[in-house]
Amino acid sequence: MKNFDLIAFDADDTLWHNEILYHSVEDRFKELLSAYADQETIDRQLFEKEMKNLPLYGYGIKSFTLSLIETAIDLSAGKISGREIEKIVGFARGMLANEVQLLEDVREVVVSLSESYPLMVLTKGDLLDQEIKLERSGLEQHFHYFEVVSAKNRKTYQNLLEKYHIDPRRFLMIGNSLKSDVLPVVELGGYGVHIPYHITWAHETVEDHPELGNSRLFELECISLLPELVSRLDSEG
């Protein structure tokens, strides 16, 4: 008997590259605003603006773009030009049109696991943007379910498991963020697998967390190790 009734994957920086794209735009943004502030100030102000805007705009490229524009207006004391705002909007258009680049070994792992388990993409962000990325990824046919949520916390996971009638003990979540992908699931009694990405948004970091490697919380260096872990958990029942 298989140990899991549902295996869910975070999308950005778990299935495909995402944070690199944001960092690239942030670098271009800091260059654009170099006449108004130094890089450290721009970084700090942008992060503060994003945190302030999250409850209103949520996650995703469009939300990020609004924060860029507001930061530019604030740091320039309203002197930012229409042409410069147009460049910021151009950054966003480039992000939305960017080719989806899968992380190494993702395709093979997803295809392999989909042969034995129902799979879900469970991610945050803009619904349309995430739908397009999944379609462009070439992985869509291997996932049974697709969910975009406004936040990932204990209540979100609990509601989701109730919706699909899944016992938390038979649910496995894989992601690059301990804070939003793993710890809330483990707290509910499910299984969480943390696969670190080399760039992590400051908002997603945690200082204290349970010891990795316990019975329901795991950390893997790369996604290629996931099928072996799932198989082991199955054999242990």
What is the per-residue pLDDT for 58? Answer: 83
Residues 116 and 153 grouped into a single domain: yes
| Residue 133 within a domain | yes
| Residue 185 within a domain | yes
Residues 187 and 206 grouped into a single domain: yes
| pTM for the whole structure | 0.86
Q: How many domains does the chain have?
A: 2
Domain-ending residue, one of 62, 97, 132 = 97
Residues 133 and 163 grouped into a single domain: yes
Domain-ending residue, one of 97, 120, 150 = 97
Which of 68, 19, 11 has its CA nearest to residue 201? 19
Q: Residues near 20 by Cβ (< 8 Å), separated by ≥ 6?
A: 199
Residues 43 and 159 grouped into a single domain: no
Residues 229 and 137 grouped into a single domain: yes
Residues 48 and 132 grouped into a single domain: no
Domain harbouring 55, CATH code: 1.10.150.240
Residues 63 and 178 grouped into a single domain: no
What is the per-residue pLDDT for 1? Answer: 55
What is the per-residue pLDDT for 202? Answer: 43
Residues 78 and 128 grouped into a single domain: no
| Residue 1 within a domain | no
Q: How far is the C-alpha of 199 from the C-alpha of 216, rounded, in Å?
A: 25
| Residue 229 within a domain | yes
Q: Residues near 26 by Cβ (< 8 Å), separated by ≥ 6?
A: 43, 46
Residues 11 and 113 grouped into a single domain: yes
| Residue 52 within a domain | yes
What is the per-residue pLDDT for 214? Answer: 59
Residues 107 and 222 grouped into a single domain: yes
Tell me which residues of the chain have a pLDDT lower than 50.
201-204, 206, 213
Do residues 174 and 53 touch, judged by C-beta distance below 8 A? Answer: no
Domain-ending residue, one of 47, 67, 97 = 97
16: left (phi over 0), alpha (psi -120 to 50) or beta: beta
| Residue 155 within a domain | yes
| Residue 200 within a domain | yes
What is the per-residue pLDDT for 201? Answer: 41
Residues 33 and 109 grouped into a single domain: no
What is the per-residue pLDDT for 198? Answer: 67
| Residue 123 within a domain | yes
Residues 11 and 36 grouped into a single domain: no
Q: How far is the C-alpha of 44 from the C-alpha of 41, rounded, in Å?
A: 5
What is the per-residue pLDDT for 197? Answer: 84
Domain harbouring 183, CATH code: 3.40.50.1000
Q: Which residue range forms the structural domain that includes residue 58?
A: 19-97
